[in-house]
Structure 1
Amino acid sequence: MLENLQKHYGFLFEEALLQEITDVATFKEIQANDTIIDIGSYITSIPLLLSGAIKILREDKEGDDLVLYYIERGDTCAMTLSCCMGETKSQIKAVAETDTELLMIPKQKMSEWLSKYKSWQEFILYSYHSRLQEFIEAIDTIAFLNMDQRLFKYLKDKAFVNQNEVINVTHQQIANDLHTSRVVVSRLLKALEKQHKIALNRNQIKVLEL
């Protein structure tokens, strides 16, 4: 585990902190589409991603999801940090976008390391800042972009975190993530294909403009 940590976090954390993480963290392998954190659950650990990507979603009163942002290798989730510090229930859902490897760190270590390691303090502050920027971008996307622009941004973001211009996804899955209808998604995808921005295949979309 230490070697894997050094590979992905060695440039961020000092050796003493890397060793502490190795001593207390639990390694987990998550399959794509599995739920890692659900709304209403208590969070007892902080995730550090070693590989893969996780999408963070918000749920409305009807139980429909809306994708807020993604976290990738080398990231953690600000919402889990907030819930750990406040000992509150999660207000977001975390779902594996791809097969993912991560380390779960006990929440009591978060505050301990904040005063003990400057690198950890900087990492946490940077994570909060990054997630805040992504929240603002998500709000701007919903408030100011037309649905076709939101859809194309969604496809580009998904291709980026999957590190593959070909996305395996159904129209209904996209509709669920964007909180709209499958009919609307299908119509807009055909329009994007006519603009040569994407190429459509069965349950597969190739993003031509990244």
Structure 2
Amino acid sequence: MIQELKASYGHIFEEALINEIIQVGTYKEIPEGYKLMDIGEYIKGMPLLISGAIKVLREDNDGDELLLYYLEQGDTCSMTLTCCMSDAKSEIRAIAETDTKLIMVPVQKMEEWTAKYKSWRNFIFNSYHNRLNELLTTLDSIAFDKMDMRLIGYLKEKARINKEDTIQNTHQEIAYDLHTSRVVISRLLKKLEQMGKIELHRNYIKILDL
């Protein structure tokens, strides 16, 4: 765990901070599909990703989900930080997109490290900045892109995150992530197949030329 932490964050944090994270952090290995946190829960720690990926989702009043962004190696979730610092309930759902390794940092250390370590302050500010940009990209996509372009972007990002050209999600799962209907997704996927962009199989989608 120590070497993995240093590989992911050693170029960001001072040695003293790395040592503190090792002392107080809780190392976890999370399987694909595991729900790390849910809407309405209180959060007692902040995740530092060592490997893998986590998808962060929002839910509307009807219970429909929308994919906001992914967290990857070297990332953390600024929304989680906000909830931790204010002792507020989570407004997001976080699910492991792939098998993931992370370290949970206790909430009581966050304010202390913000005052103590410049690298931690910079990391938190950069995290807020990066997540805000990702949220704006998602908002722009919803507001300005047609669903076919959103779907293509989604498939590309899934392939990048999973580091393979096959996507295991069902049409309904994709529809949930993009906040639309399964019928619409199935129709657009069929269109992409006819264009030679993808291949549709019973249990997966193979990307050819997106």
The interval holding the TM-score normalised by the smaller chain is over 0.9
Distance in 2 between residues matched to 1:127 and 1:85, nearest whole Å: 15
What is the 5 A alignment of 1:116-131?
A: 116-131=116-131
Aligned residue for 2:115? Answer: 115
| Residue 54 (str. 1) matches residue 54 (str. 2) | yes
1:147 Cα deviation from its structure 2 partner: 0.7
- Structure 2 CA distance for aligned equivalents of residues 105 and 184 of structure 1: 41
Deviation at 1:2, TM superposition (A): 1.8
Q: Percent identity, please.
A: 59
1:196 shift after superposition? 2.1
Give CA deviations for 1:103-128 in whole Å, capped at 9, x if unaligned. Answer: 00001111111111111111111110
1: CA distance, partners of 2:129 / 2:25: 24
Q: Work out the CA distance in 2 between the residues paired with 1:95 and 1:171.
A: 18
Q: TM-score by structure 2 length? A: 0.97
RMSD: 1.0
Maintained 8 Å contact 1:171/1:203: no
Which sections of structure 1, spanning at least 5 residues, go unmatched? Answer: none
Name the structure 1 match of 2:162.
162
Give deviations 1:13-55, integer Å, cap 9, x for gaps.
1111100000000011111111101000011100001111000
Q: Residues of 2 paired with 1:207 and 1:75: CA distance?
A: 27
Q: Which amino acid aligns with 1:52?
A: G
CA distance in 2, matches of 1:170, 1:162: 16
Whole-Å Cα distance in 1 between the matches of residues 9 and 209 of structure 2?
31
Distance 1:153 1:200 in 2: 17
Counterpart of 1:41, as a letter, is E
Q: Secondary structure at the residue paired with 2:75?
A: coil
Aligned to 2:16: 16
Displacement of 1:208 in angstroms is: 2.4
**How many Å apart are 1:137 and its aligned residue?**
0.3
User: Residue 63 of structure 1: CA displacement?
Assistant: 1.2
Instruction: Supply the distance in 2 between the matched residues of 1:37 and 1:208 (Cα, whole angstroms).
Output: 34
1:180 aligns with 2:180: yes
Q: Could you say which residue in structure 2 is the equivalent of 1:27?
A: 27
Cα distance in 1 for partners of 2:27, 2:209 equals 36
How many residue pairs get matched?
A: 210
- Stretch of structure 1 that moved more, 194-203 or 96-105: 194-203
Partners of 1:28 and 1:103 within 8 A in 2: yes
Letter in 2 for 1:66: L
What is residue 201 of structure 1 aligned with on the other side?
Answer: 201
Deviation at 1:209, TM superposition (A): 3.4
Secondary structure at 2:74 match in 1: coil
CA contact (8 A) 1:45 1:106 kept: yes
Distance 1:156 1:209 in 2: 10
Show the counterpart of 1:90.
90
TM-score (norm. length: structure 1): 0.97
The whole-number CA distance in structure 1 between the counterparts of 2:91 and 2:151 is 24
**Structure 1 residue 67 and structure 2 residue 103: aligned?**
no
The residue type equivalent to 2:85 in the other structure is M
| Residue 204 of structure 1, CA deviation | 0.9
Secondary structure of residue in 1 paired with 2:206: strand
